[in-house]
Structure 1
Amino acid sequence: MKMQHTLKDEIEFSGIGLHTGHPVNVRITPSGPDTGIRFYRKDLPGSPCIKAVSANVISTSYATTIGVKGASVSTIEHLMAAFYGMGVDNAIVEIDGPEVPIMDGSAVDFIGMIESSGLMALPALRQYLVIKKPIRVSEDDKYIFLLPPDDMEFTIDYSIDFAHPFLNKQSFSRLFSQDVFRKELGSARTFGFLKDVETLRANGLARGGSLENAIVISDTEILNEGGLRYPDEFVRHKVLDMMGDIALVGAPVIGQLIAYRSGHSLNHKLAQKVLDKPGRWELTDSLSDKDVMSSMPALLEKLATI
């Protein structure tokens, strides 16, 4: 059995939004058990709270955006991935703008700040969502499967294959752990194509994008000085995004995840389908097979939106 965790100390940072280009200040503080991750828009009257759960997702266009009653926070996926990968169950995120800062385009800065803060155990057991029957979502040739685990663990098998020399036939297959997240996923950066930049900006996107916070790809080369951090950095970043999106189910997942060319939209459909199919999973506070027991009411209470 493992206890829930929050931060030991506060974290503060600033940056610009990838899509809005706006400067943003963020303060993350410890929180009590069973509160989950909650965003507070400090720049809006009443500092509205938006709980980071799948039910509050309002957009998956080029980023994941959550919102409640007209207040929203976008591009939450890298920060949510850092919480998920580093074992932060509960935290308060105070933000004075509409978008989480992009930092360097990965989660590495968030990981470093979480490590500097350290974690604090809380007086409540962590709940795990254990897949008992297959769950599948698809869009055209894209798909995600969640299958029951061979052991009480979470494994990832993610593949991409795009019509571009740098993005064809990459795959990432691992047993997920905090160590794997820190060393193999957390520093993988977001990426985009040079030919799409003007179109994105004309549509109000990528206004804060630069070679400092994204990999930019032309038809023939990587434009960033120093190139890639990994030969397969693109698929690793897609897995990072997946972790941030799957965190919105509200509990760490135990099972086998198999994905092909998935993005934010399909990731969200998976999270929604998981919660819509309570007969296909069980909630437990133990990673022993014999102790797994169904607890749908507890999860629904935990995921209740404000």
Structure 2
Amino acid sequence: MKQRTLAKSVFVTGVGLHSGERVRLSLHPAAADFGIAFRRTDLHGKEGEMIALSPSLINDTRLSSTVVTDLGVRVGTIEHIMSALAAYGIDNILIELNAPEIPIMDGSGLPFIYLLQDAGVAEQAAQKRFLRIKKTIEVAEADKWVRFTPYNGFKVRLTIAFDHPVFHRSNQTLEIDFAGQSYIDEISRARTFGFMQEVELMRSHNLGLGGNLNNAIVIDDIDVLNPEGLRYADEFVRHKILDAIGDLYVVGHPIIGAFEGHKSGHAINNALLRKVLADENAFEWVSFVDGDRNLPAAFHGLPQAA
């Protein structure tokens, strides 16, 4: 199976959820084995150089996954675009932006899916590399936990736990096996969510400055405030799966394994990735030639190259 990049450059403008700043986001094709990299076009000198993405650079996880380099350069709220890149199996891409945060768009992964559809996919000569989980690895913090287990495919099972009337009306546990279920249909439209009572606290920490009913589900003491309601009956847990897929794709390669979590979040998801990569017995890198019957079914369903 070949590596993938974009067929052409595309761009979009939007607003950062936490910064409130207007952002121009550009996605560019990249050479084989380039990986996933960011560049802040509003910065110059060393601060304006490309940042090759890796789990070790996720150094701020307050309500999002944010790259913070040794020089203090930030690229915030990357989880939704990373989730869409995972869905398309993009290995090599340069992401440029002129602000410290990826635009939130409508709060889901769908606008980034549309952007990737516009760009198209180009296959490259080099073989795609997969990270295969070889043994169970778990991270637990208080009542939260996440784990990887060996599995010949890719599936995600998450449980959320909120003591609120809105959540009591929907499922708080969901499993998606991507061998037979579509990311675009089942996950991409699920939006980020937050509680009205948290807004003032967030804004006092310069977070959530760009949030509104057009780019997030907002919940008061009783119900959802968005006039259109929910896109899925269990949109909350579906969005957590969207986030987790994006957090895990920070490794830059598709994962062959099962991911499960209870009350997972950006920090603990990243901690799990780092724990896996620190244990050479926990994983292996694998590739598959075209037509290989050993390629897990979850990866046969990637959107086709142009």
Please give the TM-score of this superposition, normalised by the length of structure 2: 0.91
How far residue 250 of structure 1 moved from its aligned partner, in angstroms, is: 2.4
- Provide the residue aligned with 1:33 in structure 2: 32
> 1:60 maps to which residue?
61
* CA distance in 2 between partners of 1:43 and 1:290 (Å): 45
Matches within 5 A, 1:68-87: 68=69, 69-87=71-89
Asked if the contact 1:54/1:248 (under 8 Å) is kept, the reply is yes
CA contact (8 A) 2:6 2:122 kept: yes
C-alpha displacement of 1:31: 0.4
- Which SS does the other structure have where 1:174 is aligned? strand
1:20-76 alpha-carbon deviations (Å, 9 max, x no partner): 100010111100111111100100013222222101111111111112222110001
- Give the Cα separation in 1 of the matches to 2:179 and 2:83: 12
Q: Percent identity of the aligned residues?
A: 39
**How far apart, CA to CA, are the structure 2 residues paired with 1:77 and 1:171?**
21
Contact 1:57 1:66 in 2 (8 A): yes
Shift of 1:290: 7.7
- Greater displacement, 157-166 / 216-225: 157-166
Q: Stretches of 4+ moved more than 6 A in 1? A: 287-291
| Separation of aligned partners in 2, 1:48 and 1:67 | 13
Q: Secondary structure in 2 aligned to 1:266?
A: helix
Q: Which residue of 2 aligns with 1:186?
A: 188
Q: In structure 2, what is the Cα distance between the partners aligned to 1:255 and 1:125?
A: 19
Q: Which runs of 5+ in 1 are unaligned?
A: 292-306
Residues 121 and 200 of structure 1: CA distance in aligned 2, closer, same or farther (over 3 Å): same
The aligned runs of 1:31-180 (5 Å cut-off) are 31-46=30-45, 47-68=48-69, 69-149=71-151, 152-168=152-168, 169-176=171-178, 180=182
Query: Is 1:5 aligned with 2:7?
Result: no
Residues 289/59 of structure 1: CA separation in 2 closer, same or farther (3 Å cut): farther
What's the secondary structure of 2:115's corresponding residue? helix
**For residues 65 and 294 of structure 2, what CA distance do their matches in structure 1 show?**
36
Question: Aligned partners of 1:177 and 1:35: how far apart in 2?
Answer: 28
**TM-score (ref. length: structure 1):** 0.91
2:54 and 2:174 map into 1 onto residues whose CA distance is 26
Tell me the distance in 2 between the aligned counterparts of 1:226 and 1:91. 35
Displacement of 1:145 after TM fit?
Answer: 1.4
Q: After the TM superposition, which of the residue ranges 41-50 and 212-221 deviates more from structure 2?
A: 41-50
Secondary structure (helix, strand or coil) at the match of 2:12 reads: strand
Match of 1:251 in 2: 253
Conserved 8 A contact 2:148-2:257: yes
**CA–CA distance in 1 between the matches of 2:236 and 2:88?**
21
Q: AA paired with 1:161?
A: A
Partner Cα separation in structure 1 for residue 36 and residue 167 of structure 2: 33
Q: Do the aligned partners of 1:39 and 1:92 also contact (CA within 8 Å) in 2?
A: yes
1:296 aligns to what? none
**1:39/1:51 contact within 8 Å kept:** yes
Match of 2:207 among 205, 209, 221: 205
Query: Which residue number corresponds to residue 242 of structure 1?
Result: 244
| Structure 2 partner of 1:196 | 198
Whether contact under 8 Å (2:190, 2:231) holds in the other structure is yes
Map of 1:274-285 to 2, 5 A cutoff? 274-285=276-287
Q: Is 2:131–2:286's contact at 8 Å kept on the other side of the alignment? A: yes
Out of 103-112 and 62-71, give the one that drifted further.
62-71
Residue pair 1:157, 1:257 contacting (<8 A) in 2 also: yes
Q: Deviations over 1:107-142 (max 9, x none)?
A: 100001111221000111111111111000111111
Does the 8 Å CA contact 1:86/1:178 hold for their aligned counterparts?
no
How much does 1:179 deviate?
6.0
Figure out how many residues of one structure are paired with residues of the other and give that number: 289
SS in 2 for 1:113: helix
Aligned to 1:297: none
Q: Name the amino acid aligned to 2:117.
A: E
Taking only aligned residues, the RMSD between alpha carbons, in angstroms, comes to: 1.8
What do residues 214-263 of structure 1 show as CA deviations (whole Å, max 9, x unaligned)? 00001111100110000100000001110111011222111111111100
1:206-221 aligned at under 5 Å gives the runs 206-221=208-223
Is the Cα–Cα contact under 8 Å of residues 5 and 122 in structure 1 kept in the other structure? yes
Deviation at 1:11, TM superposition (A): 1.1
Q: In the alignment, residue 53 of structure 1 is paired with which amino acid? A: S
Letter in 2 for 1:60: T
Residues 85 and 178, structure 1, Cα contact 8 Å, conserved in 2? no
